[in-house]
Amino acid sequence: MTLASDANADSWTRYWREGHKDTCFLQGSAFSLADLWRGFFTELPEGSRVLDLATGNGAVAIIAADVSSQQQKNFEIHGIDQADIEPGIAIEEAPASISLCRFHGNARIEELPFGDEQFSGISSQFGFEYSNTRRTTTEVARICCQGARVRLVMHARDGGIHKSSMARLARIREITSEGHVLQRAQTIARLAGDSSWANSQKIDIVRAKFMRKLKATHNKFKGAPQDDVALLAMSYIGNRVHRYQAYDPKELRESMVEASRELRAYAIRLNAMINASHDTKAMDQVVGYFDEAGFSQVGYTPIEDNYTVIAWQLAATK
């Protein structure tokens, strides 16, 4: 793996270990594709072996487990991800059905750790497109038995999620840029350990500049969704700076270092999503990969929300 892919895997490991279930938000809210997945798993035959690619904390795998339990389908369910995942531990109040899923972390979907012709159902929600899609398609073909069905949900370039993510990333880049909110807060945190009069005067000057920048940035970001990470970060950082004297200087410095790490990891995830998004030309190319790999009935359709394309749904049969 490259340094870039290592950083990407680490950023997702941080995310999933915090217990998140969703990765994508539209207009400030996570949207559900549960009905789509229930329909797909309902159509699989009893006793199917199911693999969810880039599973994260197992949102889709858990739906497969629920369908298996409710319909007595006796699925064997696996979820795989390049991140170091432990959904059963990470998810607070995890559903009982998660115990029916076997999760495999630290594994790339371009190199699946399974034998040939072992699976009759393959799923992926916002994960397949992050990989080398040609290599992953070859691997999927290898592990699929005859008649296996594949369903992939992939990010749509210039769709609602893509545009929202670009706006979110722009806000993160602004507050972490040189001379902006985060850097000024870090300066105050470094100065806070010196209680001399001269240093106090310096902190007052930097703090006044910080508060002006913070207010101006809040005004600029009006209209951003309430869950926007840049807004949440500014609120957290602003509170720390406003009450900096109430914190131990070391604790204050460490909190700013951790805030920087979290914002960097979030920016890596957003950038990866933006780069992974597919337009129709890229989707046609993926269809070609599946055709070449011996699949039939390969095609894709848009998934829409309020007449806006947010994703692509690709279906194929081995």
- Taking alpha carbons only, the member of 307, 304, 310, 256 closest to residue 278 is 310
- The per-residue pLDDT of the chain, averaged, comes to 90
Q: 13: which residues sit within 8 A by CB, 6+ positions away?
A: 83, 84, 85
Mean pLDDT of 144-153: 98
The yes-or-no verdict on residue 161 having pLDDT over 50 is: yes
Please tell me whether residue 28 adopts helix, strand or coil conformation.
Answer: coil
The residue written with tokens 């990765």 in the block is: 23
DSSP string of 120-187? EEEEEES-GGGS-HHHHHHHHHHHEEEEEEEEEEEEBTTSHHHHHHHHHHHHHHHHTSTTSHHHHHHH
Look at residue 1 in the predicted model and tell me its pLDDT: 45
Same domain? 21 vs 150:
yes
Please tell me whether residue 302 adopts helix, strand or coil conformation.
Answer: strand
Q: Which helix (H) or strand (E) holds 276?
A: helix 249-276
The residue written with tokens 């670009």 in the block is: 166
pLDDT, one tens digit per residue, over 22-76 is 655 555 555 679 999 999 999 999 999 999 999 998 899 999 999 999 999 999 9
Same domain? 260 vs 184:
yes
- For the chain, what percentages of helix, strand and coil (3-state, to nearest 5) are there? 55, 20, 30
CA 313 to the chain's CA centroid: 18
Please tell me whether residue 281 adopts helix, strand or coil conformation.
Answer: helix
For residues 269 and 127, give the distance between their C-alpha atoms in angstroms, rounded to a whole number: 12
- Per-residue confidence band for 200, with pLDDT thresholds at 50, 70 and 90: confident
Same domain? 61 vs 185:
no
- Our count of domains for the chain comes to 2
CATH of the domain at 304: 3.40.50.150
pLDDT, one tens digit per residue, over 241-252 is 999 989 999 999
Q: Which residue has the higher pLDDT, 30 or 198?
A: 198
For residues 172 and 163, give the distance between their C-alpha atoms in angstroms, rounded to a whole number: 14
Same domain? 139 vs 180:
no
**Weakest mean pLDDT among 6-20, 135-149, 285-299:** 6-20
Cβ–Cβ under 8 Å, residues 273 and 165: yes
- Taking alpha carbons only, the member of 156, 125, 163, 119 closest to residue 140 is 119
For residues 190 and 226, give the distance between their C-alpha atoms in angstroms, rounded to a whole number: 30
Same domain? 153 vs 243:
no
Same domain? 257 vs 285:
no
For residues 74 and 77, give the distance between their C-alpha atoms in angstroms, rounded to a whole number: 9
Same domain? 125 vs 28:
yes
Same domain? 96 vs 11:
yes
What's the per-residue H, E or C state across 223-269?
CCCCCCHHHHHHHHHHHHHHCHHHCCHHHHHHHHHHHHHHHHHHHHH
Write the single-letter amino acid at 174: E
Same domain? 41 vs 167:
no
Q: Which residue has the higher pLDDT, 95 or 251?
A: 251
Same domain? 168 vs 291:
no
Q: Which residue has the higher pLDDT, 204 or 306?
A: 204
DSSP string of 49-69? EEEEET-TTTHHHHHHHHHHH
Sign of CA dihedral 110, 79, 146, 312: negative
Same domain? 79 vs 127:
yes
The yes-or-no verdict on residue 259 having pLDDT over 50 is: yes
- Per-residue confidence band for 2, with pLDDT thresholds at 50, 70 and 90: very low
- Per-residue confidence band for 3, with pLDDT thresholds at 50, 70 and 90: very low
- Per-residue confidence band for 97, with pLDDT thresholds at 50, 70 and 90: confident
What is the residue range of 82's domain? 3-159+277-317
Instruction: State both tokens at 314.
Output: 């690709």
Show the DSSP H helices in 73-127 as ranges. Answer: 87-90
Q: Which helix (H) or strand (E) holds 299?
A: strand 296-305
Same domain? 181 vs 127:
no
